[in-house]
Amino acid sequence: MFKALVLDQVDGKTVATVRDLEVSELPDEPILVDVDYSSINYKDGLAITGAGRIVSQFPMVPGIDLAGTVVESSSAELSVGDSIIMTGWSVGERFWGGLSEKARLKSEWCVPLPKGMTSHDAMVIGTAGLTAMLCVMALEEAGVTPESGEIVVSGAAGGVGSIALRLLAALNYKAVAITGRADTKDYLISIGASRVISRESMQEPAKPLEKQLWAGAIDTVGDTILARILAETQYGGAVAACGLAGGYKLPSTVMPFILRNVRLQGVDSVMCPKTRRTIAWQRLQQLLSSEDLAEMSQTISLEEVPAYAEKIIKGQVRGRTLVKLTNSR
């Protein structure tokens, strides 16, 4: 027997309970993993609380991230004893996920845990950090260098934003944090922001073109904030957009693109090809130390997950929240 968080629908509402399961109840996939850690992302919060239409079928074990050790394998790609990371691929949405002491997975969903990285640190990074790294890579590929100017990061106190700030600082970029929480200013400065600006100032409707301020941007919010960032991006700049916490609309014009040669690059980590995500994980290991990650994380038990899911969708959690699973009994 092992413990897992299971979501059910009762009278049209999502109910989350921690229960004991048998290994035989897991989906029929070729890899069985003992899960060391999972984490709670914004998407997990939506799934667990039922606030968003994330889960496609019930019952469902949520958790879009996990790190652990292979204990059974019928795949040539992975062997017993291998340490792996799994993020994305609709796990925790369409397939049973990581908020469980054991999980069955497809081998193509898994990447090797980089040498020198622990399962704990991998889950501090998680989907949020992988997304942040892919955003930074998108800016690099667009020709944005530390010498180009300031990089603005929206939703900076969240998981993607926090790790993006740390990565940008490690690569010698000057990063500006946007946040709606004044009490996070010292935290944001401590993890790499050169300065902090208010979310309210960025929510003012933008003209088609504003003063050129940013060499690049990592946007996790969308809607009016993304529109203003685009209007303020300097000639030849690039914006990596990876989230829609503030809305899915884009009240902008084509003028930043055709008059300032601005690039808007969408970034997805869910279906990101395995080769590219493996490169991203290797870079994450090189750029982030355990000390860096300790400043932006907290660890909870499986039983605490439902309460933290409520907090995360209300914007009451900063940084990353890990869930310890191995030996959690």
List, in order, residues 6 or more apart from 97 with CB less than 8 Å away. Answer: 38, 60, 61, 62, 63, 64, 66, 91, 103
Is 118 among the domain residues?
no
pLDDT in tens, 121-136: 999 999 999 999 999 9
Whether residue 225 is contained in a domain is answered as: yes
104 within a domain of the structure (yes/no): yes
In the chain, the percentage of residues whose pLDDT exceeds 90 is: 89
- Taking alpha carbons only, the member of 259, 239, 263 closest to residue 150 is 239
Average pLDDT estimate for 60-78: 96
* CATH code of the domain containing 242: 3.40.50.720
**Residue 21 parent element (H or E):** strand 13-21
Q: Is residue 34 part of a domain?
A: yes
- Structural domain contains residue 276: no
Q: Are residues 186 and 92 in the same domain?
A: no
Q: Tell me the pLDDT tens digit for each residue of 290-321.
A: 988 887 889 999 999 999 999 998 888 888 89
Domain membership flag for residue 290: no
Same domain, 231 and 168: yes
**Residue 329's pLDDT band (boundaries 50, 70, 90)?**
very low
Tell me whether residue 246 is in a domain.
yes
Region 214-225: what's the mean pLDDT?
97
- For residues 245 and 260, give the distance between their C-alpha atoms in angstroms, rounded to a whole number: 27
For residue 46, pLDDT over 70 is answered with yes
Residue 327: the pLDDT is: 58
Tell me, yes or no, whether 208 and 166 share the same domain.
yes
Number of structural domains, the chain?
A: 2
CATH code: domain of residue 59: 3.90.180.10
Query: Which structural domain, as residue segments, surrounds residue 31?
Result: 2-113+296-324
In-domain check, residue 274: no
pLDDT for 328 beyond 60:
no
Alpha carbon separation from 298 to 9, 67, 193, 308, 319 (Å, rounded): 29, 16, 20, 11, 8
Is the model's pLDDT at 206 over the cut of 90?
yes
- Tell me what pLDDT residue 110 has: 97
Last residue of a domain, one of 216, 250, 266: 266
* Per-residue pLDDT at 93: 95
169-196 pLDDT, tens per residue?
Answer: 999 999 999 999 889 999 999 999 999 9
Same domain assignment for residues 132 and 234: yes
- What's the mean pLDDT when you consider all of the chain? 95
User: What band does 159 get if pLDDT is binned at 50, 70 and 90?
Assistant: confident
Q: Are residues 105 and 150 in the same domain?
A: no
pTM above 0.75, yes or no: yes
Q: Retrieve residue 43's tokens.
A: 């998407």
Give residue 245's pLDDT. 84
pLDDT at 316: 87
DSSP codes of every residue in 194-225: EEEEEHHHHSSPPPSS----EEEEEESS-HHH
For residue 61, the model assigns a pLDDT of: 98
Whether residue 77 is found in the same domain as residue 151:
no
Co-location of 207 and 102 in the same domain: no
